[in-house]
Structure 1
Amino acid sequence: MAHIDYYFATISPYTYLCGVRPADIAKAHGATITYRPIDLMNVFSRTGGQPPAERHPNRQAYRLQDMRRRAGMTGLKMTEKPAFFPTNPAPSSYAIIAAQAAGGGDLGALVAGITRACWLEDRNIADDDVIRDCLTAAGFDAALADKGLLAGAEAYHRNTEDAVRLGVFGAPFFITDGDERFWGEDRLADLDAHLSGRI
């Protein structure tokens, strides 16, 4: 059975634009998927990237155009400059880690819900009430927002270290068990093709 490690950041617009497609692709191929939220700014600083606000104006302008186009291609509406970006991604990441450990809900829907809260609904995903709402909507116990915080912090750090060690430099980033790497929402079709044996 194929496996996908999905490295992502809850504040990443391109993670938002993935929606639930990573889970759908895994299911279509009978693959398992592990959700691995990372500290994207830490990864950027160690792999040659920069936070959006520190990039050259040319890059910032292109990013906004690209986000608009990719939103159109995926059919998802989004706010190009959300009210709560950047914000602290750690609390929402810990909740995803806790939900993955607990089970019982739809993890793909949880990731999509948290990123949608940031990139469409102008909600602060560092806020515990927002996180609880997203957990409930995805079928998880809202109390997971307050549980396993130390374990969540440790897993978040470990995911980030593993990401850098394994070649991750942005988000979303997908690594298969054969060490095929796919960076970006616009490479989901390539991931699908790889799992189909077409490439």
Structure 2
Amino acid sequence: MADEPVVWIEAESSDMARAIMAAQSTFPEFARHAELEHFRIVPAFGLVAIKAFFPDPARLTRGEHMFVTDIFTNGRSVTGTLASDPSDLPGLAAGQEVTFPIANVSDWFLVLGRRGIGGFTTDVLKKHVTAAERAGFESQEPLVWYQHRGEDGASAELAAAPVCTACGMPDLVARAHRTGACELCAGGGVRCDCSGCGAPLFRYPDAPRECHHCLVTSRK
């Protein structure tokens, strides 16, 4: 994954704050897709990742938003692997396992082929760089994943997603059944929480009600 321009925040702009709130409000649905990916023989997504805010230990109001992959959440905290080295945060390095509260999540990304879903903060980034900088960034990840939506933001894109006629939830990956039901409901599935840790799940009939993490841990 190419490095995104480093974003240091002293006081979040109102645009950034709204983008982060939108990402956090939709995070449980993202987490269900991320968890289900562990059970697929052929992955559905080219990338499953989040961005999270890591504070500077010396100045807690200042810090860096960084990509995290290999994600697990129990509904309260997130554990994952740092995808790159920080610019100037001591004690953190690419490949390191990190755990932090969900409140530190600043964005999430699901990539189907080269088309991204989520990426709320990329809309803010595009507004706060010069035209020349934007042209360069848009050929790199993560902005390259969102060229399809032009000036429309992530929230507008999700608002236009088809709403399931059975569960009333928008289908993030827009694969509605011909009946108007989402893929989950059409297959007899439900949204539920892991019986072990509380992680948000998608589950189909006869599938275990534990998340991938709990199942792996119980077998050790």
Same fold, TM-score > 0.5, yes or no: no
Which structure has more relative contact order (CA 8 Å, sep 6+)? It is 1
Larger Rg: 2
**What TM-score, normalized to structure 2?**
0.32
Whose strand proportion is higher, 1 or 2? 2
Whose helix proportion is higher, 1 or 2? 1
